Structure 1
Amino acid sequence: MREPGAPAGVDDRLAARLGMLRAERGWSLEELSRRTGVSRSTLSRLERAELSPTTVVLGQLCTVYGRTMSRLLLEVEAEPPQLVTAARQPVWRDERTGFVRRSVSPPHPGLRAEVIEGTLDAGASLSYENAPVPGVEQHIWVLEGTVEITVEGTVHTVHEGDCLRFRLRGPSHFRCPGPSRVRYALMIVLP
């Protein structure tokens, strides 16, 4: 919790934005829980900034709200500048899965593409139940290591220097087989 009078941090702004998105749709916490499969108490704690969402939970919320994760995180930031220095690129960590996400080129209203950098620890994996926006185009360029990406039931092993591109319409799964972490650039283009 932040001190009274202190500026709201990203977790506080994210919590407020999640509450606003639910309210805009007129959904109760029970309805949002039904749509996401996330417990009502967890959703309540997220909206009160008592809990930081995991990658999986944030992915489920993005899916029901029809947003990419980067777009949602952008909505809690101030108006983005044209030049985003490395020091100002928002970084989000999911300590439980070992996933780190850097918004290299955050989304911007009126633009359809964004670039993120992802790192996933050796042995770690992430699963997304649905595409955040059906038909979203993704290009994944591996900068270091290897990642296995499952899209539409097909497992693609993507090595350093390789690029995988696809349109995402359903679930996806990322796994870093090791022996070291994987670092990749992901370009997302909205339909």
Structure 2
Amino acid sequence: MASSATRRTAPSSASATPAPASAPPRVGEQIQRMRTERKLTLDDLSRAAGVSKSMLSEIERDKANPTIAVAWRLTNALGISLDQLFATQRAHETIAVSGPHEIPTLDGHDAKYQLRVWGPIELAGKFEWYELTLQPGGALVSNAHEPGTREHLTVLAGAIEVEADGDTKRLKLADTARYQADVPHAIRNAGKTEAKALLVVIHG
């Protein structure tokens, strides 16, 4: 562990908000978040960075500020640069807002459908929700997802036909279909006008 004489924090990058001179940057929360995102335990990161577990615990709880050398070891083990660590510092957002241009959109031009991905990317593969738009004649045809996966589809406009494992149901406005998605399945526009639906996928 570094002595108090050598305990210096790494300089922040130009894009980070500078901390007051009397208050060194608090990096503990950022390191803990990145460690958790990578599914690393304190022991894992401690061994990978060559930093004692007790020191890492103090840093994550903002009880101690890392030296430049320790910060470099930690960021190297996490696969990021020092600049990235400090550039991510910002005030905690109680409400995070995404504009329309930040919502990923999948276009199936030939199949005449559009999927807007409303769910956050970190939940992909676990719990997802989409806005599905189908043009007349449009269809979203899917192979079987992993065992136990189910879909929940609510019609917001138009008429939609859902097929799963050979069974077919026609839905009208405000109807909701719940069905297995670990079998081949399809969602089709059953009318002559544009159809929209909320599609929720819960993976098994």
Does the Cα contact within 8 Å between 1:84 and 1:105 map onto a contact in 2? Answer: no
1:98 maps to 112
Letter in 2 for 1:93: D
* TM-score of the two chains, using structure 1 as the length reference: 0.52
Letter in 2 for 1:105: G
Corresponding residue of 1:174: 187
Letter of the 2:179 counterpart: F
Give yes or no for the alignment of 1:84 onto 2:98: yes
1: CA distance, partners of 2:124 / 2:196: 28
Q: Find 1:124's aligned residue among 131, 138, 142.
A: 138
**2:169 aligned with 1:156:** yes
Shift of 1:88: 1.0
Partner of 1:147: 160
How far residue 110 of structure 1 moved from its aligned partner, in angstroms, is 8.6
Partner SS, residue 87 of structure 1: helix
Which structure 2 residue ranges, 5 or more long, are not aligned?
1-94
Gap regions ≥5 residues in structure 1: 1-80
The size of the alignment, in residue pairs, is: 110
Distance 2:140 2:150 in 1: 19
Q: Taking structure 2 as the reference length, what is the TM-score of the superposition?
A: 0.49
Matched residue of 1:105: which SS? Answer: coil
Query: How big is the shift at 1:83?
Result: 4.1
Secondary structure at the residue paired with 2:122? coil
Report the alpha carbon displacement of residue 133 of structure 1 after superposing the two structures with TM.
Answer: 2.0
Alpha-carbon distance in structure 1 between the residues aligned to 2:171 and 2:107: 23
Alpha-carbon shift at residue 190 of structure 1 (Å)? 1.5
Percent same amino acid among aligned pairs?
23
Cα deviation digits, residues 133-171 of structure 1 (max 9, x gap): 222121101100111010121101111111111222211
Q: Counterparts of 1:133 and 1:104 in 2: how far apart (Å)?
A: 21
Residues of 1 paired with 2:146 and 2:202: CA distance? 10
